Amino acid sequence: MTQPPWRRERREQFPGVPAWSLATSRLAPEEFGVSRLEEVTREWAWGDDGTGPADGAGVRVCVLDTGVDASHPRVGHLDRSLVVADDGGDLTVVDCDPADPVGHGTACAGVIRSIAPAVSLTSVRVLTDGRSGSGAALLAGLRWAVEEGFDLVNLSLSTTRSQFLPELHELADRAYFRRCLLVAAAHNMPVVSFPWTFSSVISVASHDEPDPMTYYYNPAPPAEFYARGVRVRVAWRGGREIRSTGNSFAAPHITGMCALALSRHRWMTPFQLKSVLYLAASNVVVSKGDAHVRA
Amino acid sequence: MSVPERRSDSEITERRLLQSTVEVARHVFASAAASVFLVDQETGELVFEAVSGEGEKHLVGTRFPSGTGIAGWVAASGQPMIADEVTAVPQFAHDAAESTGYVPHSIMAAPVIREESCIGVLEVLDRSSDWRGELADVDLLAMLAAQAAYGLELLLRLRRSEAALPAAAGGDDVHLLLQRISDRVPRGAGAADPTALKLLAVAEELLH
């Protein structure tokens, strides 16, 4: 299969190479899948289209977290398990046992699986030694996930270190243009952190209702959506379950819903997917042909 | 006051700040216990620095390996969270019982973030007031943790400035001190820090 346009290597810019314009009077723009999104409803996004409801099949999700316990019944199956390892100062991403010493990554993976049962899950453990300052590991793991061409990356974590800001920003933009959507938990602390605050990602905070498919659009970002994040029954270490609260568990709900929509409409770009999420949100209603945010 | 006395003074203030933080947290949430862990920067271990309620007699100084449990996740990720029904997880109950002598039903924890890095965790065990709801509880705990962090940041700055002082000989001799300041400020280096200039003007008045 040929490489889709958005996965191509970005061209180097140096003298002698044509810049970005296209002589459209002579050359037709490349073809690509498209919809004007006029018909978008929740039903359109992931409802039953005659073949059954969308289930996330064919969509590749990467969970950057504490690792995922593949044997947990709520996780079901893990395609691959990796860890960011310190190789004499160089951070490399290497395969590892599908284990989770904390339980948090397993919880996130379990939530994604509960929404999108057929999704393909990969884990990259970036929180390794329990110490903060692991922004470098987060960067290394995220760079790997973007290069690997995952459709979605679940990030229930963030960094407060401003030294990582420029590189993280560039990476988030790169992911966006390669159609790799980052879904990040909003940081529930009165501090400045990222990448959840970037416009190129989808940021998620919590609402306190029990329905896993209820989510709201927030017209006052940076937290763009509210999803279920209170008293969520989640997978935990050692095959167990706990009931837990935190934006960490809201983000994977939205990741799961993105996987559903993408499995039904593979052509969607991150900005289209974000628009679909907006149009299918519980507080967005269509009247007289236009969408409105219900107060 | 001599420099070593001042330093131990700021250590006492730090103890009081942390203790007051856990007392407030325990009372606000009417909880069985509240504690502050700080991350050992050498080993990454979490160390109990202040405890109110269950375990307050013996827990201070106890260490936990890095990256384990709810507090470990909170320290590593910088995200606050609540875990309920943790007694249903034998591993939790076992770990907690072995290290603290108390098995909580629910744990709520928020990171203490100072100067862009997480230096510790504020944790509340078995909060009893559920009328606010989980989201408000998490917000309140996060704010308490932030307040503690700002206090710790001020103390750290105080210690740094104190540590910078005794290195020079003759710190008590005003002429040596003035000479040293004069030597350290390069001539013609542009505008000096306005705060420093104001402080020097005040010092001039006091010394007159």
- Residue among B44, B89, B138 whose CB faces A236 most closely: B89
Q: Tell me whether A248 touches chain B (CB under 8 Å).
A: yes
Name which of A210-214, B25-29, B78-82 the model is least confident about. B78-82
What is the distance between the alpha carbons of residues B112 and B142, in angstroms, rounded to a whole number? 8
* CATH assignment of A52-293, among 3.30.910.10, 1.10.10.10, 3.30.56.10, 3.40.50.200: 3.40.50.200
Quick check: B67 and A102 CB within 8 A? yes
The pLDDT tens digits along chain A (295 residues) read: 577 777 777 776 666 666 677 778 888 888 777 677 778 889 999 999 999 999 999 999 999 998 999 999 999 999 999 999 887 778 899 999 999 888 899 999 999 999 999 999 999 999 765 454 468 899 999 999 999 999 999 999 888 889 999 999 999 999 999 999 999 999 988 888 899 999 999 999 999 999 999 999 998 889 999 999 999 999 988 888 899 999 999 999 999 999 999 999 999 999 999 999 999 999 887 666 666 676 5
| pLDDT over 70 at B171, yes or no | no
Residues B69-85 have a mean pLDDT of 85
Delimiting residues of CATH 3.30.450.40 domain(s) in chain B: 3-161
- At A132 the pLDDT is 45
Three-state DSSP state, A228: strand
* Residue A77 appears among annotated catalytic residues: no
* CB-based contacts of A284, cutoff 8 Å, min separation 6: A217, A278, A291, A292, A293, A294
Name which of A155-159, A170-174, B75-79, B143-147 the model is least confident about. B75-79
Quick check: A104 and B134 CB within 8 A? no
Q: Residue A34 has which token pair? A: 């498209």
Written as one letter, the residue type at A166 is P
Chain B positions touching A162 (Cβ under 8 A) are 116
Q: Tell me whether A92 touches chain B (CB under 8 Å).
A: no
* A26/B159: higher pLDDT: A26
Question: Residue B29 has what DSSP assignment?
Answer: T
Question: Residue B43 has what DSSP assignment?
Answer: T
Question: A40: buried, middle or exposed (CB in 10 Å: 19+, 13-18, 0-12)?
Answer: buried
| A64, closest residue in chain B (CA to CA) | B77
What is the distance between the alpha carbons of residues B15 and B36, in angstroms, rounded to a whole number? 11
Q: Is the pTM of this model over 0.80?
A: yes
Q: Which of A193, A203, A248, A263 is catalytic?
A: A248
Q: What pLDDT, in 10s, does the model give residues B187-200?
A: 766 667 788 888 88
CATH 3.30.450.40 fits B3-161, yes or no: yes
Complex ipTM value = 0.81
Question: Residue A28 has what DSSP assignment?
Answer: P
Q: What share of chain A is helix, strand, coil (3-state, %, to 5)?
A: 25, 20, 50
Antiparallel, parallel or unpaired: β A225-228 and A202-207? parallel
Q: Tell me whether B85 touches chain A (CB under 8 Å).
A: yes
